[in-house]
Structure 1
């Protein structure tokens, strides 16, 4: 399966976009109601985590949880992940990406994370030796991602079975209670790995600013 080049420069800034500093961070894509984000920042209190959620209802729930249990370095973000990543993140800035139980896109395989041109851009934002954690309860999703890592992205990874008592997300709890097999791929970016976006600076809301200036 060949993958065309991602058109980063065409991405419009998310509404109410706010730029972030170029410091080491972690990013969770599709953070839902924020269960993993709160767990992670509780276990890693000095680590900055940006938790992105597109659905307003889930984002509001995450915000409420964050207000009840404040984490200094947790930043909930209400946005679509693709434009936010393009506008906000610097090359080799991210220590870890988390993509936990993404929509398997059963009717649109091209929208699965490792099938998208955007995945190359995501890799450009990852530090050397940084990791992407991709979790799913669908064996075929994991198998396809493995094949893409081997054939297309040429990346090393570890495949792990998720423990039955793991409780990182509401989906994970539900799937494990049903007795489903939950697995994750820990994908590592080698030191010498290169992408076509390694020198692509963040747009920092430029498109939105240009619209306002017109």
Structure 2
């Protein structure tokens, strides 16, 4: 599959965008109601996680539960992940990305994460030896991602079957209870891996006249 270059400079910032510090962080894309984000931050108090969810209802639920539990190392964001990443993240800043059970886009495969030009930009934000965890209950989605890793992105990875008692997300619980096969790819960025965005600095809110309705939660 031929993938064109991502047009990062054209991205408008999410509404109510806030600049973040250039420090090592983890990022979860499509965090839903925040089950994994809250668990991860509780189990890893030394790591900072930014959990991004585009859907307002789910983001509000995550934000509310975070207020109850109070993990100091979690920041919840209500925004589209792509413009947020372009405006917020620095090159080689992220230790780990989590993309757990993304929309499989059955009618538009070009919108799957590893098929998008944006994936190259995402790799530029990942530290060397950093990892991307991609989980799905759809075997064809995982198989296609493997093919893209081998033929387009040239990245090493491990393919794992997710344990039947795993409970990281509400979707994961539902799929495993139904007896579905859940798998994940642990993708690693090698040393000296290069992208065309390695010197691209975050836009930090420039071009903020966004037409979207997302808002941002910061704690």
Q: Which TM-score tier does this pair reach, normalised by the shorter chain? A: over 0.9
What is the rounded CA distance, in whole Å, between the counterparts of 2:175 and 2:119 in structure 1?
26
SS of 1:207's equivalent in the other structure is coil
Deviations along 1:113-169, one digit per CA (max 9) or x if unpaired, are: 000000000000000000000000000000000000000000000000000000000
What pairs with 1:84-103 in structure 2 (closer than 5 Å)? 84-103=84-103
**Corresponding residue for 1:50?**
50
**Corresponding residue for 1:167?**
167
Give the direction of change, closer, same or farther, for the CA distance of 1:9–1:138 in structure 2 (3 Å limit). same
What is the rounded CA distance, in whole Å, between the counterparts of 2:51 and 2:210 in structure 1?
27
What pairs with 1:101-180 in structure 2 (closer than 5 Å)? 101-180=101-180
**Corresponding residue for 1:17?**
17
Aligned-residue Cα RMSD (Å) equals: 1.2
What is the rounded CA distance, in whole Å, between the counterparts of 1:42 and 1:159 in structure 2?
26
**Corresponding residue for 1:59?**
59
Report the CA distance between 1:47 and its aligned residue: 0.5
**Corresponding residue for 2:73?**
73
Check the 8 A contact 2:128/2:193 in 1, yes or no: yes
What is the rounded CA distance, in whole Å, between the counterparts of 1:188 and 1:116 in structure 2?
18
- What runs of 5+ residues in structure 2 fail to find an aligned partner? 212-219
Query: How many pairs are equivalent?
Result: 211
Q: TM-score, normalised by structure 2?
A: 0.95
- What runs of 5+ residues in structure 1 fail to find an aligned partner? none
The structure whose RCO (Cα within 8 Å, separation 6+) is larger is: 2
